[in-house]
């Protein structure tokens, strides 16, 4: 595809206030024809060279006038309630500011609910289906003019990591919204592997430079990029919207932490896919930020990465369980087998982590009650560290199961892993890629667990 060396972007005046039910295509065609007559013979940005609409033109239309024509005006003294009604999922919240996913699948501030350029006491909602709106407007302009044009409906977005707003495409018809450069060669002969250009967004931003926010010019025409215009309507902007699985920034900071905590589930079935040891080490780095008594660091994490070590450990633990269940608990073979099977999750997992408690920083109290409380403080710190570990591993896309089994044969574990005598194994964490999605967790009301005094 040959890159054009120039094109024009023209915003034209004369678009009247739009009311519900207006024939937007007719209104725009009339305003554009009038503007073209008035500027006939002027070149470049001043006019459209006397041709009021040509094959290959691209119309960039502000969503507000589409919403008004479609009657998406709501009487709402409380804008927040209107935002609630349009919100599917809260992505991030800071005070009253909310970034949300709206009914159209767009992630944006306030669900696109706008209180500007609309009478007091009302708000504007985005078009119900911006792609359908673009298709209808394109069809109507084609009927009125006989021209093959593209239509892009735009709205204003903020952007992560960048200050300032820009217009982007929220609906499109008759245009390839993305330009996939992957597989092409750059000027040095290097194959491009990642580059996919958001053509529709680039057009929206360019048009906003001439439309402005308060100039009364809600529509711009791009001329000179006819190679972007397609015969059919195309899929609209849907190809531009990342799926949840592809979106690495699906949540804000506090929301991501909350989602990681509430979304973490015990996983007992794993695939054979290997576990990235670097991901586990990142989780350990998060684990050791947990609070602990007396400014100590009472945690050690044994990463059982080698298959032969894991097998030797689990075989030794199995023998110890069988012996203790028989000799200490007096259980029969069937009950022993049932109890031992609970440890199968450790054998089936491709990776194990054995968290150990080290209480060398504990105070030495002669009173047994105070000594017991001192140890409990360290055990609580161990639980906090393991929770950090589990949540961080969940954020890495890994499943976990924290099993208490090593606590019933601590000497055996220390011997199998060649651990110091003061390292106290506090269970074992099975780590792996989940074999199936976890079932939905039923919400829990905090009031059931709270007493207020």
Q: DSSP assignment of 361-396, as one string?
A: T----SSHHHHHHHHHHHHHHHHHHHHHHHHHHHHT
Find the mean pLDDT for residues 285-301.
Answer: 95
Give 350-403 pLDDT, tens digit per residue. 999 999 999 988 898 889 899 899 999 999 999 999 999 999 998 888 999 999
Q: Rounded mean pLDDT of 125-151?
A: 95
Write down the pLDDT at residue 134: 97
Q: Taking a C-beta distance cutoff of 8 angstroms, is the pair 349, 431 a contact?
A: yes
Is pLDDT at 46 greater than 60 in this prediction? no
Domains of the chain are: 8-72+127-240 (3.30.1330.100), 256-449 (3.40.109.10)
SS3 state at 166: strand
Query: Which helix (H) or strand (E) segment is 200 a member of?
Result: helix 199-211
- pLDDT one-digit tens code per residue, 80-121: 888 888 998 888 887 778 889 999 989 998 888 988 777 778
Percentage of the residues of the chain whose pLDDT score is greater than 70: 89
- Band the pLDDT of 197: cuts 50, 70, 90: confident
DSSP state of 406: G
- pLDDT for the residue 307: 92
Q: How does pLDDT run across 326-341, given as a tens digit for each residue?
A: 665 556 666 666 666 6
pLDDT at residue 341, rounded to an integer? 65
Q: How far is CA 438 from the centre of its chain?
A: 18
Report the percent of the chain where pLDDT is more than 90: 54
Residue 345: pLDDT over 60 = yes
Mean pLDDT of 288-317: 94
Q: What is the pLDDT of residue 330?
A: 58
pLDDT of the residue at 310: 92
* Cα distance between residue 20 and residue 71, in whole Å: 5
Tens-digit pLDDT profile for residues 230-257: 999 999 999 999 887 788 777 777 777 7
For the CA atoms of the chain, what is the radius of gyration?
32
Tally helices (H) and strands (E) across the chain.
12, 17
In the prediction, which pLDDT does 328 show? 57
Average pLDDT, the chain: 87
Residues 406, 411, 412, 415: what is their CA dihedral angle, to the nearest 10 degrees?
A: 120
405: tokens are 């089994």
Strands (E), 40-96: 58-62, 73-75, 87-94
pLDDT of the residue at 98: 87
**Residue 124: strand, helix, or coil:** strand
């Amino acid at each position: 595809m040959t890159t054009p060396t120039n094109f024009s972007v023209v915003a034209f005046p004369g678009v009247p206030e739009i009311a519900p039910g207006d024939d937007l295509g007719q209104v725009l065609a009339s305003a554009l024809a009038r503007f073209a007559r008035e500027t006939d013979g002027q070149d470049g940005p001043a006019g459209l060279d006397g041709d009021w609409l040509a094959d290959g033109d691209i119309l960039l239309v502000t969503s507000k006038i589409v919403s008004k024509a479609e009657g998406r005006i709501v009487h709402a003294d409380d804008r927040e309630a209107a935002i609630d009604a349009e919100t599917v999922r809260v992505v991030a919240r800071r005070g009253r500011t909310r970034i949300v996913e709206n009914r159209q699948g767009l992630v944006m501030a306030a669900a696109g609910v706008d209180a500007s350029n609309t009478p007091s006491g009302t708000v504007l909602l985005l078009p119900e289906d911006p792609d359908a709106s673009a298709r209808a407007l394109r069809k109507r302009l084609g009927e009125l003019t006989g021209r093959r044009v593209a239509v892009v409906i735009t709205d204003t977005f903020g952007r992560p990591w960048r200050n300032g707003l820009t217009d982007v495409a929220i609906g499109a018809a008759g245009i390839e919204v993305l330009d996939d450069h992957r597989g092409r060669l750059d000027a040095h002969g290097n194959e491009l592997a990642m580059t996919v250009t958001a053509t529709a967004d680039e057009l929206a931003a360019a048009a906003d430079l001439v439309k402005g926010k308060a100039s009364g010019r809600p529509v711009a025409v791009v001329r000179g990029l006819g190679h972007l215009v397609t015969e059919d309507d195309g899929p609209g902007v849907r190809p531009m919207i990342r799926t949840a699985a592809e979106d690495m920034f699906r949540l804000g900071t506090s929301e991501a932490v909350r989602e990681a905590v509430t979304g973490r589930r015990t996983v007992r079935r794993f695939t054979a896919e290997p576990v990235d040891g670097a991901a586990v080490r990142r989780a350990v780095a998060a684990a050791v930020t947990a609070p602990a008594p007396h400014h100590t660091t009472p945690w050690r994490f044994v990463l059982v990465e080698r298959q032969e070590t894991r097998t030797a450990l689990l075989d030794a633990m199995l023998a110890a369980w069988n012996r203790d269940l028989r000799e200490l608990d007096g259980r029969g073979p069937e009950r022993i087998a049932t109890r031992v099977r609970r440890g199968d999750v450790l054998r089936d997992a491709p990776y194990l982590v054995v968290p150990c408690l080290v209480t060398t920083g504990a105070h030495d109290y002669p009173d047994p009650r105070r000594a017991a409380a001192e140890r409990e403080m360290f055990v609580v710190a161990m639980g906090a560290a393991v929770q950090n570990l589990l949540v961080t591993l969940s954020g890495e896309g890994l499943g976990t199961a924290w099993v208490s089994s090593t606590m019933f044969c601590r000497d055996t574990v220390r011997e199998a892993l060649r651990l110091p005598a003061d390292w106290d194994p506090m269970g074992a964490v099975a780590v792996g890629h989940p074999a199936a999605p976890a079932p939905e967790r039923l919400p829990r009301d905090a009031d059931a667990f709270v007493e207020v005094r």
